[in-house]
Amino acid sequence: MANKLTIALLQLPVGADVAFNVRRAVDSVRKLKAENPKLQLAILPESFNAPYGQEHFPKFAEQVPEGPTCQSLSQLARELGIYIIGGSIVEREGTKLYNTCTVWAPNGSLIGRHRKIHLFTMSIEPANAGGVQFDEAAVLTAGSELTVVEIGQQKVGIGICHDKRFEELARIYRTMGCSMLVYPSAFCICQGPMHWELLQRARATDNQVFVVTCSPARDNMSGYVAYGHSMVVNPWAQVQREAGEGCEFIVEEIDFDMVEQVRRQIPIFKQRRTDVYAKARLDS
Tell me the catalytic residues.
46, 116, 161
Rounded Cα gap, residues 55 and 8, in angstroms: 30
Question: Cβ–Cβ contacts within 10 Å for residue 34, how many?
Answer: 10
- CA dist 97 to 30, 136, 139, 141, 233, Å? 30, 10, 7, 6, 31
Q: Which long-range contacts (CB under 8 A, 24 or more apart) does 257-266 make?
A: 257/3, 258/210, 258/234, 259/179, 259/208, 259/209, 259/210, 259/235, 261/235, 262/208, 262/235, 262/236, 263/208, 263/235, 266/208
Closest to 173 (Cα-Cα) out of 189, 149, 139, 197: 149
Q: How far apart are CA 199 and CA 212, in angstroms?
A: 11
CB of 53 closer than 8 Å to CB of 133:
no
DSSP 204-238: HHHHTSEEEEE-PPP-TTSSS-B----EEE-TTS-
Question: How do strand 210-214 and strand 231-233 relate by DSSP bridges?
Answer: antiparallel
